[in-house]
Amino acid sequence: MKQVSFKQLKYHWRACLFVLPSLCLLLTFAYFPAWGAIYYSFFNWDGGYVKEFIGFDNYKRAFSDPYVHHGYYIVSILVVANLFKMIPSIATAVAIHRLRSAKFGYFYRVLFVIPLIIPAIVMILIWKYFFDPNFGILNAFLDFTHLMDLLVYIDGIFHWGVFLESTSPAWLSRQELIIPALIIWGFPWVGTIGVLIYLSGLSSISDDIYDAAKIDGTGPIRTFWNIELPLILTQVRINLILMIIGTIKEYGLTLVLLGNTGGPGGAGLVPGLYMFRKAFYDKETEMGYACALGIIMFLIILMLTYVNQKYVRVDK
């Protein structure tokens, strides 16, 4: 039998003294609320002491709730849109990585770190002003570039009744424009964290690979497709997971831009916002139902994360 020395026992004892309090804090502040949400999802609970066990009724109600269906329909559109919105971040990271001057490269990295200091709520409020029909930058930009005339022409063909001559579209007040406004938000869609993650992957590419590509006469486009993109697919997959999780869970953006109703006709009532309303805002608070909505959201995110990990392969 292998004997354990006194020094090893002392080391393990110190490790236990550090791990056990951390484990207790994790169980108390992370897992206990999660198990509480699972527990109360089986009750007709208003957030107080009165609760009635109803089994899976909250889950049955959620699967037949038209607001839940509509919310996930909106989220599916936003996930697809955000998938394409990852492209500018990749292009920006590649452009910064290819800068020959190390000083300029460092300068641009700092520029992408600075926005992390600005509170997200401030950025959303600024964009809310951008969408203003009378004074917003978006309509001014469309008028200046004559894109508004193109939209009016297309509207005349399809008879949307949204883009009319001599009328500024109200992006946050028209039901038909809510989803386009949520997609436009954040233009030009260069995410700060995404760019930094891609840059970390690009910086790990050896200079020998670039030298070999130059010898073979590989141009900038082929270098990207054959070298840079395959070697940062790990970072792309990480950002893809974070994007899916963030898009499904996010409701702060719609809450600030559109209010707790999700805009006119509930056009922007995403699942997270609907859960928030049921838990805290409606006259008859339904905490139990909100917990069930949260558990369903967790299971959907878990399933999509599993699919991404299993089927999105990274072969370098």
How many whole angstroms separate alpha carbon 288 and alpha carbon 37? 8
Other CB atoms within a 10 A radius of the CB of residue 226 amount to 14
Query: Quick one: which of 40, 46, 71, 58 has its CA closest to 280?
Result: 46
Give the pLDDT band of residue 4 (cuts 50, 70, 90): very low
Mean local confidence (pLDDT), 199-206: 86
pLDDT in the model for residue 36 = 82
pLDDT in the model for residue 220 = 84
How many whole angstroms separate alpha carbon 140 and alpha carbon 130? 9
Query: Quick one: which of 106, 86, 87 has its CA closest to 96?
Result: 106
Tell me how long the chain is: 316
How many whole angstroms separate alpha carbon 68 and alpha carbon 72? 6
Q: Is 72 exposed, middle or buried (0-12, 13-18, 19+ CB in 10 A)?
A: middle
% of the chain at pLDDT higher than 70 = 89
pLDDT in the model for residue 1 = 44
pTM to 2 decimal places: 0.85
Question: pLDDT tens, 77-134?
Answer: 999 999 999 999 999 888 888 887 777 777 777 777 777 777 888 888 888 889 998 8
Look at 223-227, 255-259, 283-287 and tell me which has the smallest mean pLDDT.
283-287
Q: Is the peptide bond before 21 cis (omega within 30 degrees of 0)?
A: no
